[in-house]
Chains A and B, each alone.
Chain A
Amino acid sequence: MKGGVERVESTARTERAISLIKGMTDLPTIPAVATRVLSLLDQPEVDIDEIADLILTDQVMAARVLKIVNSPLYRPSQPITSLKGALIYLGLRHIREFILTCAFIQSFEGKDGVLGVKPFWEHSFGVGIVARIIARKAGYRDTEKAYIGGIIHDIGEVFLSYYFREEFQRLVDRMKEHPHLLVEAELEEFGTTHCEIGLCMAREWNFPDDYCEVISCHHTPLQATNDPRLVAIVNLADLFCTVRRLDYGGKEWVRFSLAEEPAWEMVQGEGAGLGDFDVERFCYELDDQVEEIRELVQNIFKDR
């Protein structure tokens, strides 16, 4: 009956999260223009000019699109100077994830909490990029979805570290003495974790179910039911980033062995195993990317 008990506990944690969020009047919101672009992209016939016009109604968003598309993450061979140029360069398939990324950055602007927005984005971009690589290697059909899943998985963390500074600081201080997982420390301090908090926010923002699940289950992939492989991919990407210095400035001390991680098993799809995956080499290559990701985040926030 262990599963039953766990479910009761997780319901209690969710209720606690709801009560923490209730009464917050200045919750971050997703820019309206992003929501409109996303629904436009859902139409069967999309006109790129229309999207460009829509984005241009939000100058902050437009400027950000140009900045990110010219960053090392996308590496255009020549600087892109027009919004339409940026959209054509990205291609329709990527505009969606791109706009979401820009929207997130905008919503959390200035919400520096104990963790700081920059280290938060370094971790989030890191997990997004690594999730995309794992998805590709594992033959997961939608690599961009894995990327977005990585970018948004920890949104609950921003909330906790911004709205509950004192408690969060206490928790971070404690972790210096006794290295362990952030999510465990949170449960002790708040009676809930960034997973449940993030889930509440995601529902508030009407996120698709698959992303809600990534947010709420990225530490407990076995509980995923919608798209368990997606959750497992983000779970692994999170672990890899934590051991390769993309972890909020080294606050966590994590150890893991892939052979014992349920997510490792879950990621292996039919016919597309990761048997030949040279994990060690993959880790060394990540070291190279760490600097690039830092640079990217540095670029995005340069003139704030």
Chain B
Amino acid sequence: MSAKISDKDFEVLRDFIYSHCGIYFHTSKKYFLESRITRRLEETKAASVTSYLGLLRNGAGKSPELSKLLDEITTNETCFFRSPPQLKALETAFLPEIVAAKGKIGFRKLRVWSAGSSSGEEAYTLAMILLEKRATLLKDWIIEIVGTDINETVLAQAREGVYNSYAVRNTPEFYLKKYFREEAGGRYVLSPEVKKLVSFSSLNLYDDAKMVFMKSFDFILCANVLIYFDLASKTKVVQHFYNNLQPYGYFFVGQSESLHGVNDRFKTVHFPGGFAYKK
């Protein structure tokens, strides 16, 4: 049973979550918040949503309850082709633009970083999209895709490249047929061609000494990771992304996340269904 939240409580809760982690829940996602908050209400024995809100507010943004709630609302695991508007913008507008800019100076190398790559779905999605451009736009280009995460277990899964049917649920038929081998038991094995394009390594985004070496990326994607940091850490990490992005590159965050109040050097670029950031 999900807890029912009144519209007013929902608004208070969503404003609170937005101001603390920059994730925005549309009214249409109220059901989602209701279902995710139920467990927290039970565990904290909060009598009502109002008293739960009080619990969240304790500790001015650093309350242990807030991070538990974030765990609940973001353990929505990743999947292939997760954000079609972002991918479309990247493929049809931003990529040709970067290729043109780099082509002019004769530098035919494209570098992509999936920061907080988890089990690799995002990095591999980009690999497939870029592979499709190999014969045309990216002919004779070197493509480097890097996936990093702090969690070794998910990195091992990423390197293995075997997924269940749930992970490929959004994958267009074309890509599914071309780049996966379906095995018994609903296992999808990624083709070596795609795996070859991506390297995975362990990285703590908070580690300044290592972050300075992640240089010269054309695309950086960092979805649903920054929410785990407080404002000061977020600002620091985003500044690293800013420094590590090429002048004509693009930085993407999750579909309902924002950098408002975190970094004012990035410019927001709006496109149908979302936005990206550039220098």
Contacts and interface: CB of A to CB of B under 8 A. Distances in A.
A108 to B, nearest CB: 25
Interface stretch (B22-30, B41-49, B59-67, B133-141): B22-30
Interface stretch (A59-67, A160-168, A245-253): A245-253
B26 A258 contact: no
Interface residues of B, number: 24
A114 to B, nearest CB: 20
A288 B270 CA distance: 17
Nearest to B255: A284
B94 to A, nearest CB: 9
A250 B272 contact: yes
Given A253-B92, A257-B278, A284 B272 contact: no
B96 to A, nearest CB: 11
B219 interface: no
Interface string A173-200: 0000001000000000000000000000
Contacts of A254: 270-272
B278 to A, nearest CB: 7
A278 B26 contact: no
Contacts of A284: 24, 26, 256, 258
A242 interface: yes
Given A281-B18, A284-B24, A288-B28, A255 B271 contact: yes
A279 interface: yes
B26 A287 contact: yes
A90 interface: no
B100 interface: no
Interface in B14-41: 18, 22, 24, 26-28
Interface string B239-275: 0000000000000000010111100000111111111
B89 interface: yes
Given A253-B93, A256-B270, A283 B275 contact: yes
B273 A179 contact: no
Given A283-B275, A287-B26, A257 B260 contact: no
Contact of B258 (A256, A280, A288): A280
Nearest to A289: B27
A291 interface: yes
A252 B26 CA distance: 24
Contacts of B272: 242-245, 247, 250, 252-254
Contacts, number: 71
Contacts of A256: 269-270
Interface string B88-108: 010011000000000000000
A171 interface: no
A266 B18 CA distance: 29
Interface string B64-98: 00000000000000000000000001001100000
B18 A257 contact: no
Interface string B201-226: 00000000000000000000000000
B269 A257 contact: yes
B89 A255 contact: yes
A266 B270 CA distance: 19
A116 to B, nearest CB: 19
Contacts of A54: none
A260 interface: yes
Interface in A261-284: 278-281, 283-284
A260 B92 CA distance: 21
Contacts of B259: 280
Given A284-B26, A284-B256, A279 B268 contact: yes
A256 B268 CA distance: 8
B268 A243 contact: no
Nearest to A275: B264
CB-based closest 3 A-B pairs: A280-B258, A284-B24, A255-B271
Given A243-B273, A284-B258, 16 more contacts: A239-B270, A243-B270, A243-B271, A245-B273, A247-B272, A250-B272, A253-B271, A255-B93, A255-B271, A257-B267, A257-B270, A259-B267, A280-B258, A284-B24, A287-B28, A288-B28
8 contacts: A243-B271, A243-B275, A250-B272, A257-B278, A278-B260, A279-B268, A280-B275, A284-B258
